[in-house]
Amino acid sequence: MSARRNDSHHEDMETGADRQTDRLDFAAHLNSESLHPADIADHLEHLSPEKRVSAVNSMSKEDAAETIAELEENIAAEVLENLDIDKAAEIIAEMDRDDAADVLDELDDEHRDVLLEKLTQEDSEELRHLLRFDPDSAAGVMNSELILLDQNMTIDEAITHIRREMEEEKESPYYGYVVDSHDILIGVLSLRDLMLARPGVKVGAIAAGQNVVSVTFDTEKGEVANLLSHYNYLAMPVVDYEGHILGVVTYDDIMDIIHEEASADMLGMVGADPEESCDTPWLESVRKRLPWLVVNLLNSAFSASVVYMFEGTIAQMAVLAVLMPMVANQAGNTGQQALAVMIRQLSRDIFDQKKAWLAVLREARIGLVTGLVMAVLSFLGSWWFTGNYMVGVVMGGAILCDMFLGAVAGGSIPLVFRYLGRDPAQASSIFLTTITDGAGFFIFLGLASFFLF
Amino acid sequence: MSARRNDSHHEDMETGADRQTDRLDFAAHLNSESLHPADIADHLEHLSPEKRVSAVNSMSKEDAAETIAELEENIAAEVLENLDIDKAAEIIAEMDRDDAADVLDELDDEHRDVLLEKLTQEDSEELRHLLRFDPDSAAGVMNSELILLDQNMTIDEAITHIRREMEEEKESPYYGYVVDSHDILIGVLSLRDLMLARPGVKVGAIAAGQNVVSVTFDTEKGEVANLLSHYNYLAMPVVDYEGHILGVVTYDDIMDIIHEEASADMLGMVGADPEESCDTPWLESVRKRLPWLVVNLLNSAFSASVVYMFEGTIAQMAVLAVLMPMVANQAGNTGQQALAVMIRQLSRDIFDQKKAWLAVLREARIGLVTGLVMAVLSFLGSWWFTGNYMVGVVMGGAILCDMFLGAVAGGSIPLVFRYLGRDPAQASSIFLTTITDGAGFFIFLGLASFFLF
């Protein structure tokens, strides 16, 4: 086992050998200091809804708040809905506001309003404020609790201020945000900067030379993630159009976003919902996937109509129907490889048009060379199989052309989608297959009817 | 524009409107404080190799070190190889050791040895030590510069010690690591813990109650990333089998790993190299992709052999060849949706067998219901198209069966691969298509020869 904890109980659980015993042990540990909230949350997710609620009920409000923040949002919402309303409100009040807002967002409107009524006016206003933002924007994932440093504070005053805030705040601050008298963000100081600066200097003086990187509240959260990861920052301040500071997006939220965004591409590519997981209710998955399956059916009907044009050719020589799907399949696979590389590129880097089209050229080259190799192999294979070398020529020629086309299409589709303002990944594989199938059938059957009859 | 910087030069660049002017301006800014090393690195990547080298040559060794750490590793290696050897050694000495080791790993052996000879004995030994580890393990991405706190230090001594280390070290420390007299890791203290603790207390006393989470040096880097993101830690200590601390993996490396791993699944699924990007030399991509394309060819030859069994049936009724690819295509798409959801699940969570098979059951349900809908649509469509309602029945029946099978196969393949000790994603789409194609052709043509003749 590679993850170590100096805690024998935890190691028992990790082996997973005797989960039943773990569950029994587990109840005794719920209120103890020995389990990390993320681990408690993992365990709760394995329990029945009733047991989850009673487990949360038995926790202190502080433990419950930390645990609920670590639960999958839909499960967290379900737990809150089934708790006593006063207990639920206590827990919400204890949570970091960004986490609380995420969970409240999952509740139905009525339940959410009742809960918000139970909070202090300050908490409830702040949460309503956060709930108004698009959950996929910087403001939707930001935390509004942050440490502001007035530009006229000295370093010593700032350190005292931060120390006092640290005792009160629930989330660790990584930076102090220097603002002018209108709360306009003018600088960011790390704890390190503060510890190394001379005590009497004003924070505004240190901030003066800085280039503050910030994002506006409506920035797409994936872009915030790319920027934070680009600059290796722990946190990114969020501002309005005038530069007033609103909150901060921290690296822990970003790690989740990076993970989601990258696998969202994989799901989107094949026409699943980018946010779908095994925890998505299955009927919701049916509803989300069906439209793309219908698109796929229409697209494949188009490819089928290409085959229909050559029905007479096939009737004369049925072996063509045997070889035909191989052409389409091979080109489809080549295209998907190009597609995956291009989608990765687009999701990762700041867009660069020249680099993107050079990447298509690169795929075209790869398609040409791999196409030549596969063409020779399939020429030999189908010559041997049919005993007719002209069938081999038709097969090889079709594989070469369609694989080249597949590589170019796979590289270009995400760029075209992006140009059209669409998500470069969404259903790209479905459109790719339409091209490689349609063109593959046409080229193969076209060459066949020209050369073989 | 959503990313803001209080720096008009940077904003000019972001618009990308006049890149030529940017490049001219850029030279003047290389040594200034106004550009983040990550941005300088981005710009260098757009220059020719010669210009890159001369740009790095004009920088101070500190700026050069930070910039080279941000470059793509292959580009960084190329720059170092073309710099004057003494300048290159100076820069390497200035870099964080984990970054330096990553770049040295890309150099050819001879060049690396010459460079290491130029360093101080301590630097060179430390780097040789890091270079011996598997680059995909925790030790391969860890930094060996960390702040150790002897368990007998008081809080006050620890703070003074950290402050002194901060002034020297290049990378910001997030935690102090408490060790006993044998360098065995016994606790982790955050800066916050230190600032809030009473000055006279011994750090060992605070560490005593902790469950320290650490990883062994041979832990796969993706697993380190999952753990760090699970616990929302800033850094994860790396230990040997006896618990001696070796180094620390920090969140900035983890963000890159999470991104790589998640998109690696997408690439692996279609048989591209999981680490491939647009910057991979194209002939290397050809070499890496060809084996899977050959596997795909063999697999599709298998599907073709199924069609061949029914050559006589197709010769009698060529319209079957028109409809046949639609069945396979539809089931393939359904299967890929299931596949993507399952791969995401496996890469994200700590594995749970029961949950995994429940997820397959979920996919089976989705496959059944979407299959029914698509079966009705394709029954109607092919009845209308052929005027023969029995063709519609055959088409609908085949779509239903093959989509159900595709969903189950898509959900199961990653689990089977995992059970066999393989990467759950690698080439999974290729094997899925073999099943959905082969079964689809067999079911469709089998039903056709039974019901239509």
**What are the residues whose beta carbons fall under 8 Å from the beta carbon of B82, sequence distance 6 or more?**
B49, B53
Q: What is the mean pLDDT of chain B?
A: 84
Q: State phi, psi for B306 to the nearest 5 degrees.
A: -65, -45
Query: How far from chain centre, in Å, is Cα B371?
Result: 33
8 Å CB contact between B331 and B439: yes
Cβ–Cβ below 8 Å for A255 and B252: no
Percentage of residues in chain A having pLDDT higher than 90: 35
Predicted confidence band of residue A437 (pLDDT cuts 50, 70, 90): very high
Inter-chain residue contact B269 with A265, CB threshold 8 Å: no
What's the token pair of residue A313? 């050719």
pLDDT interval class at B23 (50, 70, 90): very low
Q: Which residues pair with A202 in a beta bridge?
A: A154
Tokens representing B21 are 């002017």
Residues in chain A within 8 Å Cβ distance of B319: 308, 311
Q: Which residue type does A96 have?
A: D
Residue A136: band (very low, low, confident or very high) from pLDDT cuts 50, 70, 90: confident
Interface touch B223/A2, C-beta < 8 Å? yes
| B91-133 pLDDT, tens digit each | 988 888 888 888 888 888 888 888 888 888 888 888 888 888 8
What confidence tier does B45 reach under pLDDT thresholds 50, 70, 90?
A: confident
Helix A109-118 and helix A73-82, axial crossing angle in degrees, nearest 10: 70
CB contact under 8 A, A337 and B267: yes
Query: Which range has the worst mean pLDDT, A160-164, A246-250, B398-402?
Result: A160-164
Exposed/middle/buried for B2, CB within 10 Å: 0-12, 13-18, 19+?
middle
pLDDT band for position A37 (cuts 50, 70, 90): confident
Assess contact for B447 and B397: CB atoms under 8 A. Answer: yes
User: End-to-end distance of chain A based on CA atoms, in angstroms?
Assistant: 65
* Dihedral over alpha carbons B290, B293, B294, B300 (to 10 degrees): -170
Residues of B in contact with A378 (CB under 8 A): 297
Q: How far apart are CA A233 and CA A255, in angstroms?
A: 12
Task: Report the helix count and the strand count for chain A, using DSSP H and E.
Answer: 22, 7
Reported ipTM: the value is 0.74
Do B163 and A7 count as a contact with CB atoms less than 8 A apart?
A: no
Q: Are B276 and A341 in contact (CB under 8 A)?
A: yes
Which residues in B lie closer than 8 A to residue A283 (C-beta atoms)? 369
- Entry pTM: 0.74
For chain A, what's the residue count?
Answer: 453
Element (H, E) at B186: strand B185-190
Burial of residue B103 (CB within 10 Å: 0-12, 13-18, 19+) is: buried
Question: How far is Cα B143 from Cα B287, in angstroms, rounded to an integer?
Answer: 33
A414: nearest Cα among A435, A436, A429: A429
- When pLDDT is averaged across residues A157-161 and rounded to a whole number, the result is 86
The Cβ-side half-sphere exposure at B363, using a 13 Å CA radius, reads: 34
Residue A392: both structure tokens together:
């081999």
Residue in B301, B337, B381 closest to A270 by CB: B337
Q: What are phi and psi of A329, to 5 degrees?
A: -60, -45
Q: Give the type of residue at A27.
A: A
Report the share of chain B in percent with pLDDT over 70.
91
Q: No. of H helices and E strands in chain B?
A: 22, 7
Residue numbers in B near A232 (CB within 8 A): 38, 252, 255
CB-CB contact of B174 with B141 (8 Å)? no
Residue B385 has pLDDT above 70, yes or no: yes
Q: Of the given ranges (A57-71, A372-386, B158-172), which has the lowest mean pLDDT?
A: B158-172
- For CA atoms A251, A256, A259, A263, give the dihedral sign: negative
Q: What ranges make up the beta strands (E) of A51-173?
A: 148-150
Q: Which is it for strands B175-179 and B148-150: parallel, antiparallel or unpaired?
A: parallel
What number of CA atoms fall less than 13 Å from residue A116's CA on the CB side?
22
| Amino acid found at B437 | D
Cross-chain Cβ contact B229/A259 below 8 Å: yes
Mean pLDDT on B150-164:
87
pLDDT over 70 (residue B3): no
Tallying the residues shown for chain B, one arrives at 453
Give the range among A6-10, A202-206, B212-216 with minimum mean pLDDT.
A6-10
Partner-chain contact A370 B42, CB within 8 Å? no
pLDDT of residue B15: 34
**Cβ within 8 Å, pair B289-A5:** no
Average pLDDT score over residue span A235-247: 91
Question: Residue A216 forms beta bridges with which residues?
Answer: A239
DSSP state of A172: P
In the block, tokens 């469950």 appear at: B211
* Chain A with chain B: Cβ pairs closer than 8 A: 375
- The position carrying tokens 């560490």 is B207
**What's the rounded Cα separation, in Å, for the pair A270 and B410?**
12
Give the model's pLDDT for residue A133: 87
Partner residue facing A5 (CB), from B211, B261, B289: B211
**The pLDDT value given to residue B172:** 60
Cβ-Cβ contacts under 8 Å, A409 against chain B: none
pLDDT at A12 over 70: no
For residue B442, pLDDT over 50 is answered with: yes
* Residue B441: HSE in the Cβ half-sphere, 13 Å Cα cutoff: 28
3-state secondary structure of B16: coil
**Residue A370: pLDDT above 90?**
yes
Nearest-Cα distance to chain A for B123, in Å, is 25
Structural tokens at position A257: 């976003």
Q: Are B329 and A296 in contact (CB under 8 A)?
A: yes
Report the distance separating Cα A22 and Cα B344, nearest Å.
27
Contact call for residues A213 and A138 (beta carbons, < 8 A): no
B184 and B244 in contact (C-beta within 8 Å)? yes
